[in-house]
Copies of this chain bind each other. A is one copy, B any other.
């Protein structure tokens, strides 16, 4: 096991009718920005419940955060935060809104230059401070409700970049799974895949003797696979929705990554596809993960075999066949959620994408993978095979 630090101070309030607890979680005597996206929170009931709970608080609304939240949208909100003397940001919606809230909270107090630098930082975080924030999360997918990471996109340059800093942990996250009853099938499927790939990027690497972390990873994947197809057919089953949501929060709250080797290649390549073609985040993962596993089948052999054995019950004596089968079963699972796994399914030319991403990797001198072997050429090969 590697040395590690674990720190996650998010106060999770999980269950039915938990928005009613908002008044005891929010600070008094400061102005709050109620941040949200499009119309979904007005359909699922979370907006109405939030407005009711906010009675007696000083707050302003700021809507319009888009999926894959944009830098310019966030910066417009930062202007409002500064002008309106906002002291707390309350995000209501999916991971995009929570990510935007984190970036706004950081950028509002960033006085050291262009806030875009917050996202370009590759070493230690440049943040000295951030506004406090909390969230009511209505979509199980990104895990943003229980971590200190965010991903922000810049349209002009086709960039989708990530930052992380403990200063932007939500002070609290309210999770009422009932808000997910009205999710479109597409978003339910996306969330299951996003959560599953979060787990896999912390699990299918190389082994450093962490059996508990492995079993926790396998526990989340098994639960997602078991309940995922069921919840697609039973969208208003509370326990199913609650279990999916808790899997999603646990998938990326720092618990699985304790002491293990990680590999975020699939996510990083996925961000490139989203930035370029505006594909849903989870759909890029469903395309890229199988290709990454095939490309890295030697380096990841031991863990792919363990994954196949523990998750899919694959016990083939021919190890190459067992690896193929594990990857194939993963693709089949994505298909069972009606999510395609090829670029061609979205009418994207793999060669065009591969060339563009190779250029991006060359420009940035990007190297990914737990063995630092995913360079521009490897990225090109992986994308070409999608």
**Interface positions of A (Cβ within 8 A of B):** 1-16, 18, 209-213, 215-216, 218-220, 222-223, 226-227, 238-239, 242-243, 246-247, 250, 255, 258-259
The listed residue (B3, B220, B227) touching A14 by CB distance below 8 A is B3
A5-B11, A5-B13, A239-B1 are contacts. A215–B212 as well, Cβ < 8 Å?
A: no
Cα-based distance from A216 to B212 in the complex (angstroms) = 8
Cα-based distance from A12 to B6 in the complex (angstroms) = 5
The listed residue (B2, B15, B213, B227) touching A3 by CB distance below 8 A is B15
Q: Which residues of B contact A1 (CB under 8 A)?
A: 15, 238-239, 242-243, 246
- Docked-complex contact A220 and B226, CB < 8 angstroms: no
Q: Which residues of B contact A12 (CB under 8 A)?
A: 4-7
Ordered by A's residue number, 25 sampled pairs between the chains whose C-beta atoms are within 8 Å are: A1-B242, A1-B246, A3-B16, A3-B18, A4-B12, A4-B14, A5-B11, A5-B13, A5-B14, A6-B12, A6-B14, A9-B9, A14-B259, A15-B259, A209-B243, A210-B243, A211-B223, A212-B223, A215-B215, A215-B219, A216-B219, A218-B219, A242-B259, A246-B258, A246-B259
Q: Which residues of B contact A7 (CB under 8 A)?
A: 9-12
Q: How far is the CB of A217 from chain B (nearest CB, A)?
A: 9
Q: Which residues of B contact A239 (CB under 8 A)?
A: 1, 209
- Docked-complex contact A223 and B219, CB < 8 angstroms: no
Q: Which residues of B contact A6 (CB under 8 A)?
A: 11-12, 14
13 other A-B residue contacts (CB within 8 Å) besides A3-B18, A6-B12, A215-B223: A1-B15, A1-B246, A3-B16, A4-B14, A5-B12, A7-B9, A7-B10, A8-B8, A210-B243, A211-B222, A212-B250, A218-B219, A246-B258
Q: Which residues of B contact A16 (CB under 8 A)?
A: 3
